[in-house]
A and B are shown apart, each in its own frame.
Chain A
Amino acid sequence: MDVQAWTYLIVGLTFALYIGIAIWSRAGSTKEFYVAGAGVPPLANGMATAADWMSAASFISMAGLISFMGYDGSIYLMGWTGGYVLLALLLAPYLRKFGKFTVPDFVGDRYYSNAARTVAVICAIFVSFTYVAGQMRGVGVVFSRFLEVPINIGILIGMGIVFFYAVLGGMKGITYTQVAQYCVLIFAYMVPAIFISMMVAGTPLPQQGFGSMLTEAYGSGFLLDKLDGLHRELGFTAYTDGSKPMIDVFFITFALMVGTAGLPHVIVRFFTVPKVRDARVSAGWALVFIALLYTTAPAVAAFARYNLINTVSNTQYAELPSWFKTWEGTGLIAWVDKNDDGAVQYVNGKAFAGKPAFIDERGAHDQRLISNEPTDNANELYIDRDIMVLANPEIADLPPWVIALVAAGGLAAALSTAAGLLLVISTSVAHDLIKKQINPDLTEKSEVLIARIAVACAVLVAGYFGINPPGFVAQVVAFAFGLAASSFFPVIIMGIFYKKMNKEGAIAGMLTGIGFTAAYIIYFKFINPAANNADNWFLGISPEGIGTVGMLINFAVSFIVAKITPAPPEDIQELVDSLRYPKGAGDAAMH
């Protein structure tokens, strides 16, 4: 069987599995719809959290990014795992004890204020939409490359699947499909990684392999030393050294960590377990499952980088392997023969400005020609970072079923994250806005109905953004983390750890934190992108890392305002006391 037949088979089987699970786990009540009846075992919740968290970006893009960034890629590895320590220690157990459905629920009740609740709802919806558009796009890319359907049809199929199990099953359906999706995605990630590690480094453990000696077929000496050497030769910074300033690495990592801990679709997963104790341990399981992929990713990155440089550097175009031409066909690789020698020169620098604009002609070596003006450096190769994971099995010449598996894994990663986000959006609308603010007399039945309609609308909007991606999707990802870091994280932490924090402090803190972070990002990303470089940044901190400063501002402002305004009412202080010990959490989710 060829790759395409395998892909249809494996993707088809996994989709049938997801639909089967959705039918089996239909939700009846609001509690089932929002928090899966708070009856998910901690291990299963850990898996679901891992699938929820690891998006198309983690699965498809991250190893590629690290591959090109080397040491600097550590910001993602540490930033997107370290937040789980904060979640397990500082947030999850107390929020589970609180025992309602959503993050805005906590903010609204703890700060006895609907204004605070509304700010939280808006942040939750904004953060989730930012994220979900990217997932739908990921679904489309995988479909178009592996099943050769147009991107838009791919997105429609993806929408249909998510629509089916999210609308039908709510959180319950989503949770159990996510468990299945985790298994698919981790298997799909590990199999090629283990294969490649065996080939390149002679060990089945990729985590060890990228620090090992190369096998004879691939060279001699340590892989990382070889990479450092190649990088220097070609004019890049050594792979194991960074080129970002240390302060920026520090602040970006911190913003990603606290942002992770403040993302509503991650936090809500800890409302679904039966006990406070389970919330703690399921954060631990979640990180185990995430760490499996996150410790493999840097190995995949290093192998891919080494294979890429070795395969393309100074190779005649005519002798390049077929994957090069396949991906050139999709427009994600482009080559300009600046010195007319027919070989690919790959060195530091951009081959041309911007993305390749292909024209309908072939060059002297049958390469696709582009209309971009070449730059005057020696680099001739444009390569999209996103293809590294998807192309890796082909670069390493693995069997077709492995390539098909990677396609199914990418889809599982994108769909599971999209479903989690869509649920947050619908809960925010049905529960936090309509039930809590507009019509408190709503019956449970109509609330579930509204939640279902809200999911359906959210799927449509997300699909629209997937088909017509706003040009700013990449830029707004910094937003999602910056906003979560500068709004939710501080406000929840203070709600638990500082009994005297009042609504005036919390609202003032959220507004200044978000205001500062948003203003900084909007200025550098939209108003004056030309100035977006280290010379103009505040203390050398890029917009990606500014959420850390926003968080500090939030903490400081809340603290000062709380000192000069009246303390919160007695019953709120008692509520905070009750959050601090587990006893009595059992059925608190009823309200």
Chain B
Amino acid sequence: MEKGKLQEYWATNLKYLLGLLVVWFVVSYGFGILLAEPLNAIRFPEWTGGGGFKLGFWFAQQGSIYVFVLLIFVYVSLMNRLDKKYDVHED
């Protein structure tokens, strides 16, 4: 594979990584820790059946984990597409 193409592929990968890691940081360290206290003033709406959750606490013990799972699957699908586009996929 030629060098220029490979660099382009890698630069796109890095762009994805940066974007996803920003989300990773914001939901856990941001919402779950640094901003937990102000967010705790907000509660889940009653109709969800989880009206006892304060938002900061919820992100720290539940929300961040759900987002983590999503992030990985988003990355998987982005990269599967990118691999095909640059013809570096396996088989």
Residues of chain A touching chain B, judged by Cβ–Cβ distance below 8 Å, are 66, 71, 73-74, 77-78, 81-82, 84-85, 88-90, 93, 203, 207-208, 210-213, 222-225, 240-241, 246, 249-250, 253-254, 275-277, 280-281, 283-284, 287-288, 291, 294-295, 298, 577, 580-586
| CA gap between A250 and B33 in the complex, in Å | 7
Complex: chain B residue closest to A257, CB-CB: B28
| CA gap between A73 and B50 in the complex, in Å | 20
Can you report 26 A-B residue pairs in the complex whose CB atoms are below 8 A from each other?
A77-B61, A77-B65, A78-B65, A82-B24, A84-B68, A85-B21, A85-B72, A88-B72, A89-B75, A211-B48, A240-B40, A246-B33, A249-B33, A275-B90, A277-B79, A280-B75, A287-B72, A298-B61, A577-B6, A580-B9, A580-B13, A581-B86, A582-B83, A583-B1, A586-B90, A586-B91
| CA gap between A570 and B59 in the complex, in Å | 46
Q: Report yes or no: B68 in contact with A81, Cβ–Cβ below 8 A.
A: yes
- CB within 8 Å for A288 and B51 given contacts A82-B24, A295-B62, A580-B6: no
Q: Report yes or no: B53 in contact with A224, Cβ–Cβ below 8 A.
A: yes
Q: Report yes or no: A78 in contact with B89, Cβ–Cβ below 8 A.
A: no
| CA gap between A283 and B74 in the complex, in Å | 12
| CA gap between A585 and B13 in the complex, in Å | 18
Interchain nearest-CB distance for A431 vs B (Å): 25
B residues 59-77 near A (Cβ < 8 Å) are 60-62, 64-66, 68-69, 71-73, 75-76
B interface SS class: helix
A interface SS class: helix
Chain B residues, Cβ within 8 Å of A89? 17, 20-21, 71-72, 75
Q: Report yes or no: A223 in contact with B28, Cβ–Cβ below 8 A.
A: no
Q: Report yes or no: B65 in contact with A203, Cβ–Cβ below 8 A.
A: no
Complex A-B, nearest 9 residue pairs according to Cβ-Cβ distance, in ascending order: A222-B52, A211-B50, A74-B60, A211-B53, A284-B72, A581-B88, A224-B52, A298-B61, A211-B52
| CA gap between A552 and B79 in the complex, in Å | 29
Interchain nearest-CB distance for B14 vs A (Å): 8
Given contacts A89-B72, A585-B90, 19 further A-B contacts (CB under 8 A): A71-B61, A73-B61, A74-B57, A74-B60, A81-B64, A81-B68, A82-B68, A85-B20, A85-B24, A203-B49, A211-B53, A224-B57, A277-B80, A281-B76, A291-B65, A295-B65, A295-B66, A581-B86, A582-B89
Chain B residues, Cβ within 8 Å of A225? 52
| CA gap between A90 and B49 in the complex, in Å | 37
Complex: chain A residue closest to B58, CB-CB: A211
Contact of B33 among A93, A253, A298 (CB under 8 A): A253
Q: Report yes or no: B80 in contact with A284, Cβ–Cβ below 8 A.
A: no
- CB within 8 Å for A78 and B28 given contacts A85-B72, A295-B65: yes
- CB within 8 Å for A81 and B90 given contacts A280-B79, A283-B72: no
Chain A residues, Cβ within 8 Å of B6? 577, 580-581
Contact of A90 among B17, B34, B48 (CB under 8 A): B17
Most buried by B among A240, A288, A577: A240
Most buried by A among B60, B72, B87: B72
Q: Report yes or no: A291 in contact with B88, Cβ–Cβ below 8 A.
A: no
Q: Report yes or no: A74 in contact with B65, Cβ–Cβ below 8 A.
A: no
B residues 15-55 near A (Cβ < 8 Å) are 17, 20-21, 24, 28-29, 32-34, 36, 40, 44, 48-54
